[in-house]
């Protein structure tokens, strides 16, 4: 029987990582105590480490700052696409008027 995949929000992940860093606990110990998989927790550690060094990291961002950056990047990408579409449309209609 398959286990249902658990989902954790960014604040929980951040708390787990902070607990490992602040209290000096091992990843294995925290995982056993909280019933978490070591692979996931190690990925959260790598994600936060990347975010703090200024990189985008992998997966969903953990910090509010990185979440906001990703949101703004997506919005910027959408606006650029919209702008390109408008440029193409105006060029098309300009040709039609000649």
Q: What is the pLDDT of residues 4-58, one digit of tens each?
A: 778 888 888 888 888 888 888 888 888 888 888 888 889 888 888 887 777 766 6
Shared domain for 54 and 16, answered yes or no, is: yes
Give the number of other Cβ atoms within 10 Å of residue 62's Cβ.
Answer: 24
Give the pLDDT score at 69: 83
Q: How many domains does the chain have?
A: 2
Task: Give the length of the chain.
Answer: 98
What count of Cα atoms within 13 Å lies in the side-chain half-sphere of residue 63? Answer: 18
For residue 14, give the H/E element and its range: helix 10-23
First to last CA, the chain: 68
Shared domain for 52 and 80, answered yes or no, is: no
- Does residue 2 belong to any structural domain of this protein? no
- Does residue 27 belong to any structural domain of this protein? yes
DSSP structural state of residue 64? H
Nearest-angstrom CA–CA distance, 52 and 65? 10
Domain limits for position 83: 63-97
């Amino acid at each position: 029987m398959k286990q249902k995949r658990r989902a954790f929000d960014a604040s929980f992940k951040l708390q787990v990582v902070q607990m490992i860093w602040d209290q000096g606990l091992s990843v294995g110990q925290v995982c056993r105590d909280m019933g978490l998989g070591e692979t996931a927790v190690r990925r959260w550690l790598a994600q936060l480490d990347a975010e703090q060094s200024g990189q985008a990291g992998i997966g969903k961002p953990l910090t509010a700052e990185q979440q906001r950056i990703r949101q703004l990047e997506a919005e910027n990408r959408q606006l650029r696409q919209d702008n390109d579409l408008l440029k193409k449309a105006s060029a098309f209609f300009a040709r039609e008027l000649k």
